[in-house]
Structure 1
């Protein structure tokens, strides 16, 4: 097996920016996509980092996503109704999130329902952006049906992801970002590519039988995290990100609905930061492995910023091929 290549983050940024501009994105908007993908890779979420770029380029080439969308925003008080016109998720949602952060300073909290938007990538990226501005954020995205309860013989609902971010002055923010299935679909893809079995409880085959075969799971049914609890959370996401935005992804899963909420902690009782610090300290004192969401990612970010982003041989081949399609060679 070939060893991963360690590539300098700036080299990836520069190359990816050129690729997206060549596919029609304005440079300032291409930079938003690149920042999200590279930041996600730096934090160790490799399935949602630079690995997504070849697919994004393909969707732009096919006209599925729109490099220059006419985004329509209709305000209803502190709720923004957004038609993204098939714009890339990182471009549209970053803009809407930044508007919501400003508005939350006036309203205390702001929500947005976003329809007809391209894939958002890692929702935790947006949650972290909000915490950088001192805000609490919740983000949801629906997806094509992939998941069902044990005994199902058909996919019932998407493994719709949920993320939230909480600013924690003096320490890394709390960033929680998960799919509502026991394992993300990307983990099945990775296991299948490596010809490795998957753990019990991840998925069923098309007949609703438990399986450890990653390939059978990919064409089968994902199992929810926590059983009915995961299904319930997926339904909440479907209502807020899907039904509220009027967007139900097709089986191809390339255009989505999303929902975000931004809350200004200063609109609360006034002791938010002190109270948060107390319960985080209490949590940390509960045991040597009591790490809260966001701490591991920050440690990986620091290490990869110094040593480079690992790129597996298979991904390297895809990046090289993507570079050839747009005339921007990938030479790293």
Structure 2
């Protein structure tokens, strides 16, 4: 069964099913199987899945928005946020806080959408605590990726998207990694990834108004166009986010 049909069978509307399928298929194309079609089986196993739930924008002020997932999947919350930013871009910059926003998937997908629409975007999101201190102890932070999208007047936008874990939980779901590999990346320098994971965790936790997984996004109008010159200097080197 095709992904859209499988999602529709779970109760999602045609539009939401297509939104989810587009994300999963893009992940597959980019070799990110942990964020790809393996998520269909995972979604079908969720007891509290509410296919009809809709996110809500609670606050819309100059330079700031607050959203609530309202039991919708985080993918759909971020899709709605991206649609809103592209339809009504900020005069200069805007911070968007999304509470109860999980799962969020491949964050580079969302900042790429915004960058292709001409906006600079930064996005992070929290997830279940699976990373501990490199020296041991309790799990204190999620893998908490950080994604940055920079638009370009020529060629593709530049998209940097990095998880703070050596592997992601999606890799575990896809069967390409074991759960004991979920540690901060960097080997003997793993304390750096741990510091970033913890900092991003507390950034989101300090900005959401209620406990739970969330996301924080910054969008801004670009004042310069640095990507074409960077690609020229790179002379064919594969840059972050290139397919």
Residue number in structure 2 paired with 1:223: 184
Q: Is the contact made by 1:140 and 1:259 (CA closer than 8 Å) also made in structure 2?
A: yes
Q: Offset of 1:246 from its aligned partner?
A: 3.9
TM-aligned CA distance change 1:247 to 1:31, over 3 Å: farther
Asked if residue 96 in structure 1 is aligned to residue 92 in structure 2, the reply is: no
Asked if residue 153 in structure 1 is aligned to residue 168 in structure 2, the reply is: no
Task: For 1:249-328, list aligned pairs within 5 A.
Answer: 249=212, 256-265=213-222, 268=223, 272-273=224-225, 275-282=226-233, 284-285=234-235, 290-295=237-242, 297=243
Residue number in structure 2 paired with 1:107: 91
CA displacement, residues 138-167 of structure 1 (integer Å, 9 cap, x when unaligned): 111111111122222321211211111112
Q: Offset of 1:170 from its aligned partner?
A: 2.2
Residues matched between the structures, number:
240
CA distance in structure 1 between the partners assigned to 2:240 and 2:17 by the alignment: 29
Larger radius of gyration: 1
Q: Is the contact made by 1:145 and 1:159 (CA closer than 8 Å) also made in structure 2?
A: yes
Q: Unaligned 5+ residue runs, structure 1?
A: 1-11, 199-213, 250-255, 298-332
Q: Is the contact made by 1:144 and 1:248 (CA closer than 8 Å) also made in structure 2?
A: no
TM-aligned CA distance change 1:148 to 1:118, over 3 Å: closer
TM-aligned CA distance change 1:143 to 1:118, over 3 Å: closer
CA distance in structure 1 between the partners assigned to 2:54 and 2:168 by the alignment: 32
- 3-state SS of paired residue (1:156): strand
CA distance in structure 2 between the partners assigned to 1:91 and 1:223 by the alignment: 28
- 3-state SS of paired residue (1:87): coil
Runs of 4+ in 1 over 6 A off after TM superposition: none
- 3-state SS of paired residue (1:222): coil
Pick the aligned partner of 2:23 from 36, 41, 55: 36
CA distance in structure 1 between the partners assigned to 2:214 and 2:73 by the alignment: 12
Residue number in structure 2 paired with 1:85: 70
Q: CA RMSD in A?
A: 2.3
Residue number in structure 1 paired with 2:7: 20
Asked if residue 239 in structure 1 is aligned to residue 239 in structure 2, the reply is: no
Q: Offset of 1:281 from its aligned partner?
A: 2.1
Residue number in structure 2 paired with 1:67: 51
Residue number in structure 2 paired with 1:162: 146
Q: Is the contact made by 1:72 and 1:83 (CA closer than 8 Å) also made in structure 2?
A: yes
TM-aligned CA distance change 1:71 to 1:294, over 3 Å: closer
Residue number in structure 1 paired with 2:40: 53
Instruction: Report 1 or 2 for greater relative contact order, CA contacts < 8 Å, sequence distance ≥ 6.
Output: 1
- 3-state SS of paired residue (2:97): strand
Pick the aligned partner of 1:180 from 150, 164, 176: 164
Q: Unaligned 5+ residue runs, structure 2?
A: none
- 3-state SS of paired residue (1:107): coil
CA distance in structure 2 between the partners assigned to 1:239 and 1:107 by the alignment: 28
